Structure 1
């Protein structure tokens, strides 16, 4: 038996359990994604955008027949980071649960909205000619699969029709098979999984949330751009938009493909800057990055939804953006991550959280989604007082 010296070592949760962690492990895992998964850096530019600071707001929100304040919201919904921008100025910024200004916290699925925005970049640069180009035209690995009939538009609107279960509590679900492949860092493992899935509906006929579709979308953008997804994000958005910190995409394997739909790592204020980039219609550094009209099209309801049927309470879905009943574009991620972008009031609200997952949710007795929506309403009200 080989022995070694008893050196200090850090213990972190297993990657395959990332969606199943108890509350005690969530904060450390979410703040250390780059120590659990392989990653590729999204490099910042030379000129970070300064976010001026305006008067701090004091939001009050009402739920359960009672008024609650900021501290209540942070404590009740396990918030790690909170940022509010109005007209590009910081009006509220808070850190908790070990999060710091420099921490690249997990984006979870909010990164779907960021990755989808790169399709706009590819269109603007002529790398994609049409939203109706098929997936298999760009990805030979998926030829002969259900994705032969799926277009880029279908991927963006979660309407591929491919069979997929997003049940995080079922270890045999497609999303947990995907998660295990990522945790085990299997080269080509996710595309092999996606190739094996049968069609359940005609592409474009229904909305069905599928994290695997955004993985495929990221692969497609990489193939069309002929460069790593992180490189495209860095040169097209992270640099021009003046991000303060490097970010990262997680990878399916060491040196492999970026995971376009989950688990990236971004600092709180830079998520706010991304929201501001969307508010400014995809113009950054004095030049247009996204095609004219892209943000409006991304933010319209391509599918109408029942608000009771999704974790946010959205009544529509755009190009990988959930649409709030009042019209805001919202990037939503597992365990309470969100980027709320209200074009009508020029407001961005970023929330990073550790919402407990089953079976631990019941002990809290809180409707976390309703609490978030009530707080957002309180923020908007505070901004006009």
Structure 2
């Protein structure tokens, strides 16, 4: 970007802030405005823009509006445990990840908690597609609450505007597992891909922009026969939950998860141009609250001993429902699965919540990867880190008592 465009962009943001009240922003946010992006195309921001915005997505005017998910009245404890003994250099690993937060919780205790990029544990970091797994959990809650009758219902029952489109024959379950067979391009490097274009779509009169875009897509394969990752489809899942429950996603998340799980700080959920939460993206939360989310799921999402989702939900949601072309891996209901029983929520640029029920382990990652949205090198390093933590836990269990 040229200096002239950068100055004009910054002035545009400052002008927008002036309208809303410059002094209503905290000191950190005012400082971030100098490098903050002036458009919503996150895939094509510079590294300094990402570093600035990922910690302030819900506070910088011109980027997005959000709904608040209130904090719980009483935060659930995250007591410290003994430091985790790892063979590798954690500082070097975090530097390679460009890590903003790294937390390891084992048996409910914090065994590792580190921060970077000038970020600390008191702020919120954006989740990107980690939110997909949150939205999936709300589907389970909506089934338990009777708002969704069956995962085998057709999507068009809940979103009638999809009647007559390629989604007319797609079930809720197929939407959850991304096996709709509807065409979609999720290439983050291609400005003409669906994932790059759909947020800027001009909707038909009286129709939500997302639904207007998705209903025009063609069929590429029979429903249920092919897996294809599609953020647009998780956004449809979010729309479906909102239609079924007649509640904003932030409200339902507060009722079913954020309050019961004892979240320490309020979260925010970014809104689309039409004022609805984006089901496939963009919850901002405290890193420790991401860890609490992992523990809530690990413990069956129970409130007073009763799960918020139907019996058997987690056995289906967090195990392989479809192949993804990687040995030992699969996809569940918006969760990435491993054949050893572990599963993870994943977001672009290095966000993640890894859950290992066998070892009672939760690993939270927040980052701003340098190698792009799906940085292959950073992704491989993170998988190796997960395995190293698992081995360290196993070694502790195998060690003779002193």
Q: TM-score, normalised by structure 2?
A: 0.85
Of the structure 1 ranges 77-86 and 277-286, higher mean CA displacement relative to structure 2 is found in: 277-286
TM superposition shift of 1:263: 1.8
Q: Does residue 330 of structure 1 match 2:348?
A: no
Q: Alpha carbon RMSD of aligned pairs, Å?
A: 2.3
- Which residue pairs with 2:176 in the alignment? 156
1:278 maps to which residue?
A: 297
> Runs (4+) of structure 1 moved beyond 4 Å?
4-9, 358-361
Q: Is the 8 A contact 1:88 1:276 kept in 2?
A: yes
1:20-53 per-residue CA deviation (whole Å, 9 max, x = no partner) reads: 2222221111111112211111122212111111
Higher relative contact order (CA 8 A, sep 6+): 1
Match of 1:248 in 2: 268
Q: Is residue 278 of structure 2 the alignment partner of residue 263 of structure 1?
A: no
Could you say which residue in structure 1 is the equivalent of 2:364? 350
Q: Specify the alignment match of 2:238 in structure 1.
A: 218
What do the CA deviations read for 1:118-167 (whole angstroms, capped 9, x no partner)?
11101111111110111110012222211111111011101111111001
- Secondary structure of 1:332's counterpart equals strand
- What is the rounded CA distance, in whole Å, between the counterparts of 1:329 and 1:276 in structure 2? 13
Which segment drifts farther, 111-120 or 193-202?
193-202
Relative to structure 1, is the Cα distance of residues 357 and 15 closer, same or farther in structure 2, using a 3 angstrom cutoff?
Answer: farther
**Which residue does the alignment assign to 2:353?**
339
Q: Which runs of 5+ in 2 are unaligned?
A: 1-13, 23-29, 397-402
1:96 aligns with 2:116: yes
Equivalent of 1:82, from 102, 122, 146?
Answer: 102
User: Residues 279 and 316 from structure 1, CA distance in 2 versus in 1: closer, same or farther, beyond 3 angstroms?
Assistant: same
Tell whether the 8 Å contact from 1:116 to 1:156 is kept in structure 2 after alignment: yes
- CA drift at 1:279: 0.8
Deviates most, 316-325 or 107-116: 316-325
Q: Closer, same or farther in 2 for the Cα pair 1:180/1:247, shift >3 Å? A: same
Whole-angstrom distance in 2 between the partners of 1:58 and 1:271: 23
- Residue 191 of structure 1 deviates from its aligned partner by 1.7
Residues 344-385 of structure 1: per-residue CA shift (max 9 Å, x gap) = 111000111111245996xxxx71121111111111222343
Corresponding residue for residue 383 of structure 2: 373
Any idea what SS the aligned residue of 2:101 has?
strand
Residue number in structure 2 paired with 1:16: 40
Q: How many residue pairs are counted as aligned between the two chains?
A: 362
Structure 2 residue 304 is matched with structure 1 residue 304: no
1:100 CA displacement: 2.1
Q: 1:47 to 1:295 in 2, by over 3 A?
A: same
Match of 1:311 in 2: none
Aligned residue for 1:75, secondary structure, equals helix
- Provide the residue aligned with 1:53 in structure 2: 80
Structure 1 residue 31 and structure 2 residue 55: aligned?
A: yes
Normalised by the length of structure 1, the TM-score is 0.89
Work out whether residues 27 and 98 of structure 1, in 8 Å CA contact, stay in contact via their aligned partners in 2. Answer: no
Q: Is the 8 A contact 2:349 2:374 kept in 1?
A: no
